[in-house]
Amino acid sequence: MKLTLVAQQASVRLASGKVVEAWTFNGRVPGPPIRARRGDLVEVTLVNRDIDDGVTAHWHGVDVPNAEDGVAGVTQDAVRPGARYRYRFRVDQEGSFWYHSHQVGSEQVRRGLCGPLTLLPRTPSSTRELDVPVVTHLFTGSFAIGADDTLQHRAVAPATTVRLRLVNTDDTPRRYVLAGTPFRVAAIDGTELNAPPPIENQTLELGGGARYDVTFTMPPTPVRLQVVDAPAGIVFSANGSGDVAATDSRVLFDPSSYGSPKATRLGSMARFDRRFRLVITRKPGFFDGRPGLQWAVNGEIYPRTPMFMVSTGDLVKMEIDNRTNSFHPMHLHGHHMLVLSRNGRPVRGSPWWVDTLNVRPKEQYEVAFLADNPGLWMDHCHNLQHAAKGLTMHVVYKGITTPFEAGEASGNHPE
Ligand code: C2O
Ligand code: CU
């Protein structure tokens, strides 16, 4: 799979007719869908046409080798206007991901430098399937699915298997409802759930950066996906017309008790080689020389936030304790984390793997991951406004250093 992504400013017309001044890949928002199969070599050439601060491409949720991770100041220098950069990785996962710039991420992602990334099984499935990336994004004042800020209609033959790949590219959590059919949450953050049962009338809440795959068999009657509190939605029906009401059920889908338990590649987890604690609080202090109420991790303000050191092969347990009144979608690069417990209660359903965990106000989690991908990895809040204000840490393997630098002198600003 070869592709060129050109980062460029563009005026983009949304379906309603409204024009947004966006920063785009290839002149469109979201950027072009990237689809590859397990085993494929993905080769992406990133060209920066006119984004002054420079850009990168980060493959969110794909556990690529560290050098391909696309983080300015950590794994490369930002690609300056007129310059280009080549990414190369072999696909070893299947599921729903996305890509976005990781240079001044808090501004560049918001302006549109992101797109869907779908990794498919080695061989195409033989059944009739409709596969729809549902990338939701808030442009200045307009909320859209893809570039459509209206209620869309799509014709789908009854009995078709439909997979909606929900991607929340925004900083804040987003809620989605699916009306007109029972459905399953088939996957979270690119990992299939074990034995997901059909559910109905449950609202799905995705934290910033998260993905849920929702599957259903198209009935003869209309089905509607609706983004809660937004005009954007999709009505699926046999002939492309008709509708069905979709209201927020207020019953939140709970991944911690959904599906069936199953052994994981982490084994029994009888012992952990390392334990980390990540306590998020607010405290007065200075950030970037300015006084105010700052995000603190373990009592420290960035850049004094922790560097978690691991060795290859370590089984790591991490506790996340959010003592604030804000949502913090915590994202670890290069690894997937198995959620063990929430608020002291063990996960009872399917193994629940995440790369971006929607930590809600005052919640506590225990997660585990295997240190099997050497490098220097970011671990940060995917509310990128928070990350830019210091909710950023690193997981670093012993003996690994980087020749790249972040900060004013280098021009690299990952967040
Ligand atoms: Cu989606 Cu560090 O990013
Ligand atoms: Cu946050």
Q: How far is the CA of 271 from the centre of ligand 2 (A)?
A: 30
* pLDDT for the residue 287: 86
Phi, psi (rounded to 5 degrees) for 37: -105, 155
User: Residues near ligand 1 with C-beta < 6 Å?
Assistant: 58, 60, 100, 102, 209, 331, 333, 378, 380, 382
Find the ligand nearest to 211 CA. 1
Q: How far is the CA of 222 from the centre of ligand 1 (A)?
A: 36
Instruction: Say how far apart CA 371 and CA 314 lie, in whole Å.
Output: 5
Q: What's the CATH architecture for 274-397?
A: Sandwich (2.60)
Reading the chain (415 residues) residue by residue, the pLDDT tens digits are 999 999 999 999 999 999 999 999 999 999 999 999 999 999 999 999 999 999 999 999 999 999 999 999 999 999 999 999 999 999 999 999 999 999 999 999 999 999 999 999 999 887 889 999 999 999 988 999 999 999 999 999 999 999 999 999 999 999 999 999 999 999 999 999 999 999 999 999 999 999 999 999 999 999 999 999 999 999 999 999 999 998 887 799 999 999 999 999 998 877 999 999 999 999 898 888 889 889 999 999 888 888 999 999 999 999 999 999 999 999 999 999 999 999 999 999 999 999 999 999 999 999 999 999 999 999 999 999 999 999 999 999 999 999 999 988 899 999 9
Q: How far is the CA of 413 from the centre of ligand 2 (A)?
A: 18
pTM assigned to the model: 0.97
Element housing 191 (H / E): strand 191-192
Find the ligand nearest to 72 CA. 1
Return the closest-CA partner of residue 134 out of 106, 157, 102, 163: 163
How many other CB atoms sit within 10 Å of the CB of residue 11? 10
Q: How far is the CA of 391 from the centre of ligand 2 (A)?
A: 6
Ligand 1, atom 1: nearest CA belongs to which residue?
Answer: 60
Nearest atom, ligand 1, residue 98 CA: 1
Q: What is the CATH number of domain 129-253?
A: 2.60.40.420
The DSSP code for 149 is -
* pLDDT for the residue 206: 98
Strands 274-287 and 307-310: unpaired
- 119-126 CB contacts, 8 Å cutoff, 24+ apart: 119/35, 119/36, 119/37, 119/38, 119/62, 119/91, 119/93, 119/94, 119/95, 119/190, 120/35, 120/36, 120/37, 120/38, 120/94, 121/37, 121/38, 121/94, 122/37, 122/38, 122/39, 123/37
Same fold, 129-253 and 274-397: yes
Is the CATH number of domain 2-120 3.30.450.20? no
Find the ligand nearest to 415 CA. 1
341-360 confidence digits (pLDDT tens): 999 999 999 999 999 999 99
Return the closest-CA partner of residue 357 out of 388, 322, 307: 322
* pLDDT for the residue 238: 97
> What are the domain boundaries of the chain?
2-120, 129-253, 274-397
* pLDDT for the residue 306: 86
